[in-house]
Amino acid sequence: MRKNERLKGKTVVITGASGGLGEQIAHRCAASGANLVLLARNQKKLEQLAENVSEKYSVDCLPLQLDLSRHEDIPAVFRDIIERVEYIDVLVNNAGYGVFSEAKDVTAADVKGMFSVNVVGLIVCTKEVINYMRQRKSGHIINISSQAGKLATPKSSVYSATKHAVLGYTNSLRMELAKDGIFVTAVNPGPMATNFFDRADPSGNYVKSLGRYILSTEKVAEKIVEAMLMNRREINLPGWMNAGSILYTLFPRLVERLGKKAFFKK
């Protein structure tokens, strides 16, 4: 496991930390000597992860329960974090979920839920760290978006809309905070082998169709941690999928026509 020496003694806050990509990021940050604040809804999983990480890497690890859909709870949780750890060097906005459904079938509850967690929760968390980072003239905000935020496909209209929103917010935030020495990075991975698809695609057909092309959380986490406290605009994985997103920006009609069969594999 490669180490990022810039993280030694720093404090990293990770949302959605109880499993999947968030858990892998936590392990790699701790291996680099960072102290952690782990946020998620499942307190039991958080406490178990915090105990394992603390024992294995000899770092401080604070598990705090937070449901990002409860926006009114977020300010108090971040005040608690600041009181306990004094400062936040890196915020990783990792929490999020998706439901794959055709636009005609998507429920109002799913629309509200995805925007509530993926967009509003992310924005409120970010708002809570900006002033602290500005006071210290340093910090790094990392927003986990998706290739779906660049190239929308059938059955992911609402999920893609949330990730388009995250990218728009991230791009604006990056320009606002550049003068304060604060880095802002968007991470745009393709499909990853996590329990995301247990909810997004209960049939399992999409994951099956991806086969060996699905990303590992270990690889994505490694790229993210390597870039921490560096001025990286974006991290795009895998390369071939990002090339498709770039091509789509240039020739959308062509890509939609040629990729139609593949896009409907969900």
Residues taking part in catalysis? 159
Q: 198-233: b or e for each residue (b if 16 or more CB lie within 10 Å)?
A: eebbeeeebbeebeeebbebeebbbbbbbbbbeebe
**CA–CA distance, 9 with 5 (Å, rounded to integer):** 9
- What is the residue type of 266? K
Q: Which residues, at least 6 apart from 62, have a Cβ–Cβ distance to it below 8 Å?
A: 36, 37, 38, 50, 81, 84, 85
Q: What is the DSSP letter of 5?
A: G
For residue 35, which of 15, 68, 13, 52 has the smallest C-alpha distance? 13
